[in-house]
Structure formats: structure tokens, C-alpha cells
Amino acid sequence: MTTLDPALAAWFDHHDQRLHDDLFAFLRIPSVSARSEHRADVAAAASWLHGHLARIGFATQTIPTAGHPVVLAEWRQAQPGAPTVLVYGHYDVQPPEPLELWTTPAFEPTLRDGNIYARGSVDDKGQLWLHVAALEAHLAARGTLPVNVIVLAEGEEEVGSEHLAPFVEQHRQRLACDAVVISDSTMFAPGIPSILSSLRGLAYFQIDVTGPASDLHSGMYGGAVVNPAMALARILATFHDATGRVAIPGFYDAVRPFPDAVRDGMRRLPFDEPDFMRQLGVASLGGEPGYSTLERLWTRPTCEVNGMLSGYTGEGAKTVLPGTAMAKVSCRLVPDQDPAVVHRLLESHVRAVAPAGVTVTVRALHGGQAWRADLAGPLYEAAARALTAAFGRAPVITGEGGSIPVVNDFARLLGAPILLVGFGLPGENAHAPDEWISQDNFRRGMRAIAALWDELAAAGA
Ligand code: BES
Ligand code: ZN
């Protein structure tokens, strides 16, 4: 079995406290990309990252986009013939609300029971930072890196990466590489390192229902005027049939089934369904018939309500017929569903089922394609060796229900193999209160990535 180079191992041991301190400083910056009042904080996180990459020896630029900036850093002094790798991560985070449900404040990182709690700890600042730390380890302990490295960090992943595909397209030559490596995902279970073979895509919508010109007295008008909240409820109720299948006509037309070998692999994973239900606090599960829970999560498309707003929701009772109703709806997609096509299908379905007496609009907010890959070749073999060195056991192959919109753009525009190797854990509370990353995984993750560059260079030579 390969092991981590003792010089690198010693460097990590010696700098453990400082690497934690730096991570905590990064996590203290409330870089919430969705909120305009945090624009300066998002910029501050970019500048913090820029400073570190420059300090460890990377030629670093912060490049503005129409949204939040991209931090692009390069180190291209490896031996002739060495591979070039692109490391991607995001320095923006999800909003921290509801604040009152955090045990300690979202932007005051806290170590508790071996876990680091803070918004962004696992998604994705902690995982981006462990990459920067691995690069620093090589440069500090040996004065060089065995591979050429491009670091691309964006500040808009949590709002759909709208400006990143054009950026990658525009800088295609500069971003040319032999491998893309991303840590923005989760391991299958504690102690089981994991490599992702798929991500779902996303198509996100807002549905607005408008009725009377203003809210009305529900006694004076109720029964004679169509109620927008009820109209919205009726529309949403048509999105699935009674079995749990999506009932929007044409929704499954483009769906390419997963290969049997992939489904077999999923069935062999040690998935503990009762424990999964316990963790979530649910008494039973539901979804599309004919598929296991992991298949539903990783291989099948969905249509979900993310939020609804209408009428009176304050204390006590107010008799009112609301003038408007709104829902946020998202579809998770699989290969080869196209977000724009799903938008058209959803819109015409909504138009067909909308009751008379209200006006309904469907607006697309953002979207991205699904991604799936055959994990064959030297990149994945190198990753398996590096993960085995850091975790003491070989990785499993998993799928993922979440989305990283740019991954499909990387595949399309750069043509390099993509390694998605995450160090989060189930229950890590990404996007929720009390988000955490395991300190042990943070440490092993840094070491695994440092070993990966050696393994990849050896494989490429
Ligand atoms: N890191 C997540 C995606 C993820 C979660 C991948 C778990 C693998 C395992 C990412 O930051 C995320 O949340 N993405 C959004 C994308 C959306 C806003 C376009 C998502 O999936 O909801
Ligand atoms: Zn993320």
C-alpha cells in the first residue's frame, strides 16, 4: 500500500493548528452569494483566498464577472511532461437562516466533539481550503509540486453558477488540463472514502398566481372569487400521480436509464435504510415506484416544492382571501434532460391545468445539466491509491442527488476526466443550521489530496 511521503506527513502534523486557524478565519467571512447586502463579504472571501494562494507561490488573479468574482491561480513549474490539474471549489455559502436553530453562530466557527461547525465548513470552504493546504504542503516541504496546478474558485455556486460557463468558455485555452479535481461532496459513510460517478442537474422555477387586485375579506368575497392559494395548491397537486411518479407530460422522455452495472454497484453499498430514516426523523419514505432509495436519490429525476407563500401566516386567525400565491419549485434532472426543455414542459403543463379566474406565470430562475462518467483511467486509479493511503481502505463509487452546475460545463468545454472526491459525511447539515465538517476528515482530506498529486505524477510519467 502506498503511504503519504513522510516529509509531507510531518509538515501537516507540524502546521495542524495554523491550518485550522486559517480555515476558521475563512469561515468567519459571511460570503452569502444570494444576498446583495453580503456583496462586500463575498468579495472579502475572494480576496482572502487570493492572498493565501499568492503567498504560497501561485500566480493569482481575481477576475470580475457580471456577478461575483472568480479567483484564478496558477503554478506551472512542474517537470516537463508532468500533468496539469485543475482544482475547482466555491467560496460562497448558503444563507445561514434560521439563525435561532444554530447551537453556535453560523459565522463563529466552533470545534465541538471533533466536528467544526460553521456555515461553509463542509460546503465548500472547508473542502476548498484543504486543497489549498495540500498545495502549500508540497511547496513548503519540498519547494515544488509534482503537477502543474490551476485553482479556479467561484463565488456563485450556491446561486446557480450563472457566469461560470461563459468564463470557462472564454478562458478555455488557459484552463486546458489533464484532470479536474473537485471536493464539494460527501463520503458514503464515516471511514469510507468515496468517488462520485454522477451528479443530478437542476431546473429551478418560481410560479406566481395572481387573482383579485388586492387581498379581500374572505367572508364578503369567498366562494365567488377564485382563491389564488387554492389555485396554486391544485396546480402543485398535479405535478405527481398518486404513486409518486412525476405526472408532467413529457418529463421522462429524455431520461437515459443508468447502466445495470451502476445500479448493481449501488445495490452492493452498505446502505442502512432504518438508520437513514432515524437520522432524518421520518417514519417512512416515499418516491417513484420501482426504485430503491439510493436509486431514487441518485438516478431518478424529481419535481419538488421548495417554498410557498400566500395570505396570512402570522399569529392567530385573519379572515382573508389572498390576492396572490407563489411557489418555488425545482426539478432535479438526470442525463439527458435539458433544463430549458423541462421549463417548457412545466410551463405548458401549468397553463393546461391552471383554473380560470387567476393568472399564472412560470419563471425559470436557474438550471444546470446532470453529469455522469465512467470512472476508468489513471486519474481514478491514482485517486484510489491516495484515498487508501489517507483512510486505510479503498474508496467506494457513489452517486449524488445534489448538483454542481459547472461540472457538466467542464466536461463539455475542457474534455478532461473529472474526479469528484468529497470529505463531507451524511448528516453534515449542508444548507441547514449547524453545518459541520469532521475534523478527522479535514485532516485526512488534506493528506489524501497531497498524496493524489504524487500518485498522479507517477502515473503520468
Ligand atoms: N456541494 C453542493 C452539491 C452537493 C451536495 C454535491 C452534496 C454532492 C453532495 C453544492 O454546493 C450545492 O448545494 N449545489 C446546489 C446547486 C444549485 C444551487 C444550483 C444544489 O445542489 O442545490
Ligand atoms: Zn457546494
The Cα–Cα gap between 166 and 82 comes to 28
Domain match, 11 and 83 both: yes
Rg of the chain over Cα atoms, rounded to whole angstroms, equals: 24
Task: Give a yes or no: residue 274 inside a domain.
Answer: no
CA atoms within 13 A on the CB side of 438: 16
435 and 314, same structural domain? Answer: no
**Structural domain contains residue 387:** yes
Task: Give the pLDDT band of residue 295 (cuts 50, 70, 90).
Answer: very high
pLDDT, tens only, 192-247: 999 999 999 999 999 999 999 999 999 999 999 999 999 999 999 999 999 999 99
Largest CA-CA distance found in the chain, in angstroms, rounded? 81
Partners of 203 in the β-ladder: 331, 367
**Domain identity same for 193 and 98:** yes
Q: What per-residue confidence (pLDDT) applies to 88? A: 98
- Name residue 333's beta-bridge partners: 201
Measured distance CA(336)–CA(399) in Å, rounded? 16
C-alpha 359 – ligand 2 centre gap (Å): 36
- Whether 144 and 121 map to the same domain: the answer is yes
User: Which residue spans within 106-263 are E strands per DSSP?
Assistant: 110-112, 115-117, 148-154, 179-182, 194-196, 198-199, 201-210, 216-217
What was the pLDDT predicted at 460? 79
Chosen domain end from 368, 387, 414: 368
Q: Give the phi and the psi of residue 221 in degrees, each rounded to 5.
A: -120, -20
The residue whose CA has the least distance to atom 7 of ligand 1 is 185
pLDDT in tens, 254-294: 999 999 999 999 999 999 999 999 999 999 999 999 999 99
For residues 305 and 448, state if they share a domain.
Answer: no
* Angle, vertex CA 6, rays to CA 5 and CA 11, nearest 5: 105
Ligand 1 pocket test, candidate residues 123, 198, 333, most atoms within 8 A of CB: 123
Pocket of ligand 1 (CB under 6 A): 123-124, 157-158, 160, 184-186, 202, 366, 368, 400, 402-405, 430
| Ligand 2 centroid, distance to 269 Cα (angstroms) | 24
Nearest CA to ligand 1 atom 4: 402
> Is 292 strand, coil or helix?
coil
Give yes or no: residues 326 and 414 share one domain. no
Per DSSP, the residues of 258-280 read PPHHHHHHHHHS---HHHHHHHH
> Residue 270: inside a domain, yes or no?
no
Whether residue 450 contacts residue 138, with contact meaning beta carbons closer than 8 Å, is answered with: yes
Q: State whether the Cα torsion 183-164-99-105 is positive or negative.
A: positive
13 and 112, same domain (yes or no) = yes
Residue bearing the CA closest to ligand 1, atom 16: 403
Question: Nearest-5° angle of CA 169, CA 175, CA 181?
Answer: 110
Q: How many CB atoms lie within 10 A of CB 172?
A: 12
Position 233 in a domain: yes
Atom number in ligand 1 closest to CA 184: 1
Specify the residue with its C-alpha closest to ligand 1, atom 19.
160
Q: Which atom of ligand 1 lies nearest, measured to the CA of 159?
A: 18
Q: How many CA atoms lie within 13 A of 427 on its CB side?
A: 11
Task: Report the CATH number at residue 46.
Answer: 3.40.630.10
Residue 3: which pLDDT band, with cuts at 50, 70 and 90?
A: confident
Give 403's DSSP letter.
Answer: -
CA of 22 to the centre of ligand 1 (A): 24
- Looking at residue 22, its amino acid is D
288 occurs within a structural domain: no
Contact criterion met (CB below 8 Å) for 213 and 340: no
Atom of ligand 1 nearest to the CA of 123: 1
Consecutive H or E run containing 116? strand 115-117
Q: Which three cell numbers stand for residue 95?
A: 444563507
Check if the beta carbon of residue 341 is closer than 8 Å to that of residue 349. no
Residue partners of 76: CB distance under 8 A and separation at least 6: 84, 148, 149
**Are residue 355 and residue 425 in the same domain, yes or no?**
no
Distance 157 CA to ligand 1 centre (A): 8
What is the pLDDT, as a whole number, of residue 330? 98
**Are 358 and 375 contained in the same domain?**
no
Q: Which ligand is nearest to the CA of 403?
A: 1
Note the pLDDT tens digit of each residue in 322-381.
999 999 999 999 999 999 999 999 999 999 999 999 999 999 998 999 999 989 999 999
Nearest CA to ligand 1 atom 5: 402
Q: Are residues 138 and 247 in the same domain?
A: no
User: 70 has which bridge partners?
Assistant: 63
Atom of ligand 1 nearest to the CA of 160: 19
pLDDT of 452 reads: 98
Domain that holds residue 342: 206-255+301-368
The residue whose grid cell reads 425559470 is: 364
Q: Is residue 275 part of a domain?
A: no
Length of the chain: 461
Looking from the CA of 283 toward its CB, the CA atoms found within 13 Å total 0
Per-residue confidence (pLDDT) for residue 1, from 0 to 100: 53
Residue with cell 383554473: 355
Report the mean per-residue pLDDT for the chain. 97
Ligand nearest to the CA of residue 421, numbered in listed order: 1
Q: Who contacts 115 (Cβ-Cβ below 8 Å, separation ≥6)?
A: 436, 437, 438, 439
From the number of C-beta atoms within 10 Å of its C-beta (0-12, 13-18, 19+), residue 39 rates as middle
> Looking at the predicted structure, is the pLDDT value of residue 183 above 90?
yes
Question: Minimal CA–CA distance to 445: which of 380, 381, 390?
Answer: 390
pLDDT digits (tens, 9 = 90+) for 373-426: 989 999 999 999 999 999 999 999 999 999 999 999 999 999 999 999 999 999
**All 3 cell numbers of residue 158?**
450556491
pLDDT band at 461 (very low <50, low <70, confident <90, very high): low
CB 254 within 8 A of CB 341: yes
Pairing of strands 359-368, 201-210: antiparallel
Q: What distance in angstroms lies between residue 154's CA and the mean position of ligand 1's atoms?
A: 14
Rounded to whole angstroms, how far apart are CA atoms 461 and 448? Answer: 20
Ligand 1: nearest atom to the Cα of 403: 21
Q: Which of 127, 183, 371, 403 to mutate to test the pocket of ligand 1 (most atoms within 8 A of CB)?
A: 403
Which CATH number is 236's domain given? 3.30.70.360
**What pLDDT does residue 153 have?**
98
Q: Which of 368, 396, 424 is the last residue of a domain?
A: 368
Are 316 and 413 contained in the same domain?
no
Nearest to 408 by CA among 381, 440, 369, 451: 369
**What is the pLDDT at residue 389?**
97
What does the pLDDT read at residue 374? Answer: 86
Report strand pairing: 201-210 vs 179-182. Answer: unpaired
Is residue 23 domain-shared with residue 94, that is, in the same domain?
Answer: yes
Span 43-62, pLDDT tens digits: 999 999 999 999 999 999 99
Query: Is 413 within a domain?
Result: yes
Q: Which residues contact 317 (CB under 8 A, 6 or more apart)?
A: none
Number of folded domains in the chain?
A: 2
Task: Point out the ligand nearest to the CA of residue 366.
Answer: 1
In a domain, 271, yes or no: no
**Which of 351, 368, 385 is a domain's end point?**
368
What does the pLDDT read at residue 66?
Answer: 96
